[in-house]
């Protein structure tokens, strides 16, 4: 076992002292079966859950134990670990109840207490993790019900919340105030066993409760790698500013539409769904200053600072689109789950963030995201300036690409002499493709990594309340204009399976992006006709 794995296990052991109950609220839902339970199984299989663990699913749906297990394990990729899956099932239970009813929560609490007693968990170690795999409409009643009835009094409480965290600044602040009154960002209180037992002994324990706002992009391997790349390499550290970088693109492309999710999506649109959270989080990691340490608060302080330097996005710096049917694929408005058949909700957006600080003034950060595009791809592309007074004429600009998914990679496009007798400059790349470089690579799912962080009490990859507030300030004026169908808002059509609206090429050009991929630039090289490289 590697020392890194042992270190993580030791951190969990230290935090939880061997015992925890994980309560998945919304256990009958989509997120729970597709992400939460597979991630919990991954952690169990790899020995990251404490020995004394119990997983309790909670939801309104009435189902028996067998039905529950069938539901929550259907997306688990078991491979050779069939025995482990059986063990995992043995630590999982289900309790059904309402989301707004104290009696239901008291029943849940009773169930957990009985399980804690059966497992022989001593007082002070009755740790509880509440994972809210729930729609935002019930966040507040559930948090209230938990606080009143199920909150651990002899251990720690961790509340894990999923996006969306509101619809704009106002609703997000409302949610933050309501949740903040129940579960503070970081709270330590004291449990006085002496008072409870009417004994005059000095036996006071600390109980802490914490809130973890998940943005699952922060759990992705290549997003976590951004800080290492930037701050562990002298080369990148020095070239990472307006002197060298011309423009930055952060791109999210999905090759499928909203099929089946039209009801949810139509209320949110692509900016709230992906850009204001996932892509902005990536931007902050790319743009922030070096934190004073790798401590979670030090990192989040720097993220907030850079967000404070970003002006609200202007509608003029935006390109919006909605997909239409093509090649037998339905357009957005044909989605059966969509109620408003005249919807003007954007399914594609490119927005430009400007960071007014010494490092980045004048460098546009283009965030673009779309559904029903030509490929699946999420990447960051830093394009560097042209070489001044270039000896070799118009050689292509350098680009550093961090490909988040699929096929994780970091590659630098650069210019090189064509091998052989020629003195021509050709474009090529320094290529770190993870799947070729690392043998038997196994990259954990983002949720697995983030739940592990919850258990070992590392807040670095979660969104802090002030970070969220600044993020909404950047997008709220633009979102309100879009929601109000302001006369400046134009939604351009694009075909299902295309690169986006036809205006995209000119849009990125306007912000300085040069697509100078040469005809002789090909990847991977084995696909190149060998004679093409000869004189």
Minimal distance, residue 101 CB to ligand NDP, in Å: 48
Considering only residues 423 to 482 of the shown chain, the ones binding ligand NDP according to CB under 6 A are 429, 431, 433
Residue among 407, 416, 422, 424 that touches ligand NDP (CB under 6 A)? 407
Nearer to ligand LXAUTJHC, 146 or 223 (CB): 223
Give the pair of three-digit tokens for residue 312.
């609200």
| HSE, side-chain direction, 13 A CA sphere, residue 206 | 7
What is the C-alpha separation between 316 and 313, in angstroms, rounded?
8
Nearer to ligand LXAUTJHC, 254 or 302 (CB): 254
Options 79-87, 187-195, 337-345, 405-413: segment touching ligand NDP (CB under 6 A) = 405-413
Residue 166: name the closest of 154, 177, 152 by CA. 177
Nearer to ligand LXAUTJHC, 161 or 396 (CB): 161
Whose tokens are 């999923």? That residue is 162
Give the pair of three-digit tokens for residue 428.
């090529």
Minimal distance, residue 506 CB to ligand NDP, in Å: 10
- Of the candidates 174, 190, 238, 278, the residue annotated as catalytic is 278
One symbol per residue from 379 to 398: x for binding ligand NDP (CB under 6 A), - otherwise; what is it? Answer: --x-----------------
Q: Could you say whether residue 408 binds ligand LXAUTJHC (CB under 6 A)?
A: no
CA dist list (Å): 301 to 109, 307, 365, 466: 36, 10, 21, 9
The kind and range of the H/E element at 114 are helix 102-118
Residue among 99, 111, 139, 411 that touches ligand NDP (CB under 6 A)? 411
What sign results for the dihedral spanned by CA atoms 117, 118, 120, 126?
negative
Residue 217: name the closest of 513, 450, 490 by CA. 450
Q: Is 485 a catalytic residue?
A: no
Facing residues of 53 across strands?
20
| Tally: H helices and E strands in the chain | 18, 16
Minimal distance, residue 430 CB to ligand LXAUTJHC, in Å: 26
Do 52 and 121 meet the contact criterion of CB atoms below 8 Å apart?
Answer: yes
Minimal distance, residue 216 CB to ligand LXAUTJHC, in Å: 6
* 128-132 and 157-162 strand pairing: parallel
Considering only residues 195 to 224 of the shown chain, the ones binding ligand LXAUTJHC according to CB under 6 A are 216
Minimal distance, residue 3 CB to ligand LXAUTJHC, in Å: 29
Phi, psi (5° rounding) for residue 196? -65, -40
Residue among 6, 515, 525, 534 that touches ligand NDP (CB under 6 A)? 515
Q: Could you say whether residue 401 binds ligand NDP (CB under 6 A)?
A: yes
Nearer to ligand LXAUTJHC, 94 or 348 (CB): 348
Q: Could you say whether residue 499 binds ligand NDP (CB under 6 A)?
A: yes
| HSE, side-chain direction, 13 A CA sphere, residue 51 | 8
What is the C-alpha separation between 469 and 118, in angstroms, rounded?
43
Q: Could you say whether residue 335 binds ligand LXAUTJHC (CB under 6 A)?
A: no
What is the C-alpha separation between 486 and 478, in angstroms, rounded?
10
Considering only residues 274 to 293 of the shown chain, the ones binding ligand LXAUTJHC according to CB under 6 A are 274
Nearer to ligand NDP, 172 or 428 (CB): 428
One symbol per residue from 232 to 271: x for binding ligand LXAUTJHC (CB under 6 A), - otherwise; what is it? Answer: ----------------------x-----------------
What is the C-alpha separation between 395 and 377, in angstroms, rounded?
26
Nearer to ligand LXAUTJHC, 128 or 216 (CB): 216
What is the C-alpha separation between 281 and 223, in angstroms, rounded?
9
Do 68 and 107 meet the contact criterion of CB atoms below 8 Å apart?
Answer: no
For 399-433, the DSSP string reads EEEEEEESS-EEEEEEEEEPSSS---EEEEEEEEE
Q: Could you say whether residue 273 binds ligand LXAUTJHC (CB under 6 A)?
A: yes
The contact set with ligand LXAUTJHC (CB under 6 A) reads 216, 254, 273-274
The contact set with ligand NDP (CB under 6 A) reads 249, 251, 381, 401, 407, 409, 411, 429, 431, 433, 499, 505, 515, 517, 523
**Residues with a known catalytic role:** 278
């Amino acid at each position: 076992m590697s020392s890194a794995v042992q270190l993580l296990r030791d951190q969990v052991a230290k935090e939880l002292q061997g015992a925890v109950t994980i309560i998945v609220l919304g256990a009958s839902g989509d997120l729970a079966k597709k992400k939460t339970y597979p991630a919990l199984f991954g952690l169990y299989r790899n020995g990251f859950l404490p020995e004394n663990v119990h997983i309790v699913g909670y939801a309104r749906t009435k189902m028996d134990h067998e039905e529950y297990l069938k539901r929550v394990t259907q997306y688990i990729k078991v491979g050779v670990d069939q025995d482990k899956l059986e063990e995992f099932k043995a630590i999982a239970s289900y309790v059904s109840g309402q989301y707004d009813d104290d009696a239901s929560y008291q029943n849940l609490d009773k169930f957990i207490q009985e399980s804690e007693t059966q497992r022989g968990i001593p007082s002070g170690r009755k740790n509880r993790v509440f994972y809210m795999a729930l729609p935002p409409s019930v966040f507040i009643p559930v948090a209230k019900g938990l606080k009143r009835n199920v909150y651990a009094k002899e251990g720690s409480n961790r509340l894990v919340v999923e996006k969306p965290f509101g619809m704009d600044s106002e609703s997000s602040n409302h949610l933050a105030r309501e949740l903040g009154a129940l579960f503070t960002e970081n709270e330590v209180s004291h449990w006085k066993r002496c008072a409870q037992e009417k004994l005059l002994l000095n036996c006071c324990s600390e109980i802490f409760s914490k809130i973890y706002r998940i943005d699952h992009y922060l759990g992705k391997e290549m997003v976590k790698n951004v800080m290492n790349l930037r701050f562990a390499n002298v080369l990148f550290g020095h070239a990472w500013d307006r002197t060298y970088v011309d423009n930055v693109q952060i791109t999210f492309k999905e090759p499928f539409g909203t099929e089946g999710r039209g009801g949810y999506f139509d209320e949110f649109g692509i900016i709230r769904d992906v850009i204001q959270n996932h892509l902005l989080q990536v931007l902050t990691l790319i743009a922030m200053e070096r934190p004073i340490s790798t401590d979670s608060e030090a990192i989040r302080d720097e993220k907030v600072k850079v967000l404070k330097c970003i002006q609200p996005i202007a509608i003029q710096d935006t390109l919006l689109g909605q997909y239409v049917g093509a090649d037998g694929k339905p357009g957005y408005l044909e989605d059966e789950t969509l109620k408003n058949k005249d919807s003007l909700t954007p399914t594609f957006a490119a927005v430009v963030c400007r960071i007014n600080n010494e490092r980045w003034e004048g460098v546009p950060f283009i965030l673009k995201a779309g559904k029903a595009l030509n490929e699946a791809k999420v990447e960051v592309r830093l394009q560097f300036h042209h070489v001044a007074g270039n000896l070799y004429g118009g050689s292509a600009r350098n680009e550093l690409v961090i490909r988040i998914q699929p096929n994780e990679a970091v590659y630098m496009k650069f210019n090189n002499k064509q091998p052989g007798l020629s003195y021509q400059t050709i474009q090529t790349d320094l290529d770190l493709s993870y799947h070729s470089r690392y043998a038997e690579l196994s990259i954990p799912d983002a949720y697995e990594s983030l739940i592990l962080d919850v258990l070992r009490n590392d807040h670095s990859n979660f969104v802090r309340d002030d970070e969220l507030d600044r993020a909404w300030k950047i997008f709220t004026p633009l979102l309100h204009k879009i929601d109000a169908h302001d006369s400046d808002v134009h939604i351009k059509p694009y075909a299902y399976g295309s690169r986006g609206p036809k205006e995209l090429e000119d849009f990125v050009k306007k912000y300085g992006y040069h697509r100078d991929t040469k005809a002789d630039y090909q990847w991977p090289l084995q696909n190149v006709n060998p004679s093409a490289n000869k004189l």
